[in-house]
Amino acid sequence: MLLEIDVEKRLGNFVCRIDCRLEAHSCGVFGPSGSGKTTLMNLLAGLMQPDRGRISLDGEALFDRQKGINVAPEKRRIGVVFQHAYLFEHLSVRNNLLYGLKRTPRELRTIDPEHLYGTLDLEHLLDRRVTRLSGGERQRVALGRAMLASPRLILLDEPLTGLDRALKFRIIPHLRTVFSEFSIPYLFISHSHQEMRLMTENVLIIERGSVERLSSSEELARSSIFSADRGYANFLELADRHDCGNLLTYRWGKNRLTGVKNTNAPEYATFSLNARDIVLFKRHPEASSARNILEATVRATQRTEWLVRVEMDCCGSTLIAEIVPQSMEELGIRAGAKIVAVFKASALHRLT
Ligand SMILES: Nc1ncnc2c1ncn2[C@@H]1O[C@H](COP(=O)(O)OP(=O)(O)OP(=O)(O)O)[C@@H](O)[C@H]1O
């Protein structure tokens, strides 16, 4: 996707002035409440008209004030999925899903419905009324409906907000799979660093109606590390599960980590580990109740008055801990220092 935007829109006292060029398969849109994220989505989808400027997608002008171009929303081939899945309540799941497909000219249809139903795990729901679906099922139907119109781009406006944590993290892998499998680019609005990091690598940060910067979702999470009430969350991709009594072990790069067993732990998954749940030692602790003890080399430190972020290399994998400045002095932590990072099995929380 190559999305070029240079627009201005006034809404009462609020002025949205967006000037950016996005060239990526996916991009997050992040910003505080009222910063203009939904306004941007509406401008892109054609649901709102800019006062001036130009929007083009893959080189084709969708809006150009000077040239008098304003492609109608249904002709833009941009799908939109909102926080509330606006489904047609009188139709079955199948007919909701086929709604967009039927309105798409045959030559533009790129997605096989049966294939998509399987990927979104909707096969068993096709004949149900949408009024009898759970929140997560409704969101999957909304997504499937948008995708079956074979859009050139999908806009996701906080599609996971309102879903409970477990459901949210069950849906994220589905989303990622369908977007990559069907090669559909997407923009993803969210307030959550966690969702952002799981969904996309690039993020457009918006403040007071303007682009603040284009960043990565990882950099975004790290930059707010010191202001967050909770510490930075390390996301660890764990694989190769082994049961070990009432514990589990997983491979993490060249390391093996131990977590607490729960009923349906998968073979591989993303786990989060809070930077403040990691304890650092100068030497290997002789006796400890913690199950995870990793030798590490300090790569870098970043310090504020009350907290130090310690970035470590654990056999090629990156781990971030947050400690107080006094501990940093006492342990002699500086780039290149050898340390030992320790955390409990229960500090690993499964996300996906
Ligand atoms: N029709 C309108 N008339 C006047 N002001 C509006 C209108 N629509 C939106 N606004 C204002 O424009 C600003 C941006 O709104 P927008 O919905 O784009 O923000 P947002 O970043 O999506 O916020 P949130 O994260 O809370 O959904 C807000 O201050 C909002 O009050």
Query: Which atom of ligand 1 approaches the CA of 41 most closely?
Result: 18
Reported as a pLDDT band with limits 50, 70 and 90, residue 231 is: confident
- Residues of each domain in the chain carrying CATH 3.40.50.300: 2-223
Query: Which atom of ligand 1 approaches the CA of 36 most closely?
Result: 18
Query: Of 303 and 6, which is predicted with more confidence?
Result: 6
Report the separation in Å between the CA atom of 33 and the middle of ligand 1, taken as the mean of its atom positions: 8
Residue 112 has pLDDT above 90, yes or no: no
User: Which of 151, 197, 150 has its CA nearest to residue 57?
Assistant: 151
User: Which of 290, 231, 155, 203 has its CA nearest to residue 28?
Assistant: 203
Alpha helix (H) ranges present in 200-310? 217-223
Q: Is 82 in the pocket of ligand 1 (CB under 6 A)?
A: no
Q: Is 32 in the pocket of ligand 1 (CB under 6 A)?
A: no
Report the pLDDT averaged over residues 168-194.
85
Reported as a pLDDT band with limits 50, 70 and 90, residue 134 is: confident
Token pair, residue 67, equals 């040239």
pLDDT of residue 268: 86
DSSP code for 334: -
Report the separation in Å between the CA atom of 57 and the middle of ligand 1, taken as the mean of its atom positions: 24
pLDDT of residue 346: 93
Does domain 233-350 correspond to CATH entry 2.40.50.70?
Answer: no
Query: Residue 280: enclosing H or E segment and its boundaries?
Result: strand 279-281
Residue 227 has pLDDT above 70, yes or no: no
pLDDT of residue 175: 82
Residue 341 has pLDDT above 80, yes or no: yes
Q: Is 335 in the pocket of ligand 1 (CB under 6 A)?
A: no
Structure confidence by residue, pLDDT tens digits, 285-328:
887 788 999 999 999 999 888 889 999 999 999 999 999 999 99
Q: Is 88 in the pocket of ligand 1 (CB under 6 A)?
A: no
Report the separation in Å between the CA atom of 15 and the middle of ligand 1, taken as the mean of its atom positions: 10
Report the separation in Å between the CA atom of 171 and the middle of ligand 1, taken as the mean of its atom positions: 27
Q: Which of 14, 18, 205, 208 to mutate to test the pocket of ligand 1 (most atoms within 8 A of CB)?
A: 14
Q: Is 31 in the pocket of ligand 1 (CB under 6 A)?
A: yes
Atom 30 (ligand 1): residue with closest C-alpha?
A: 34
Report the separation in Å between the CA atom of 246 and the middle of ligand 1, taken as the mean of its atom positions: 50
Query: Which atom of ligand 1 approaches the CA of 42 most closely?
Result: 18
Q: Which of 15, 29, 38 to mutate to test the pocket of ligand 1 (most atoms within 8 A of CB)?
A: 38
Atom 2 (ligand 1): residue with closest C-alpha?
A: 11
pLDDT of residue 215: 94
Reported as a pLDDT band with limits 50, 70 and 90, residue 226 is: low
Mean pLDDT across the chain, nearest whole number? Answer: 91
Give the number of other CB atoms < 10 A from CB of residue 43: 23
pLDDT of residue 263: 62
User: DSSP letter string over 92-136?
Assistant: BHHHHHHHHHHTS-GGG----HHHHHHHTT-GGGTTSBGGG--HH
| Lowest-confidence region among 47-61, 130-144, 154-168 | 154-168
Q: Is 336 in the pocket of ligand 1 (CB under 6 A)?
A: no
pLDDT of residue 352: 77
Query: Which atom of ligand 1 approaches the CA of 40 most closely?
Result: 18
CATH topology of domain 2-223: Rossmann fold (3.40.50)
Reported as a pLDDT band with limits 50, 70 and 90, residue 155 is: very high
Q: Are 281 and 330 spatial neighbours (Cβ–Cβ below 8 Å)?
A: no
Report the separation in Å between the CA atom of 201 and the middle of ligand 1, taken as the mean of its atom positions: 25
Q: Is 274 in the pocket of ligand 1 (CB under 6 A)?
A: no
* Greatest mean pLDDT among 192-201, 232-241, 302-311: 232-241
Reported as a pLDDT band with limits 50, 70 and 90, residue 165 is: confident
Q: Is 41 in the pocket of ligand 1 (CB under 6 A)?
A: no
Residue 122 has pLDDT above 70, yes or no: yes
DSSP code for 306: S
ipTM of the complex: 0.96
Contacts of 280 (CB under 8 A, 6+ apart): 310, 321, 323, 327, 331, 333, 339, 340, 341, 342
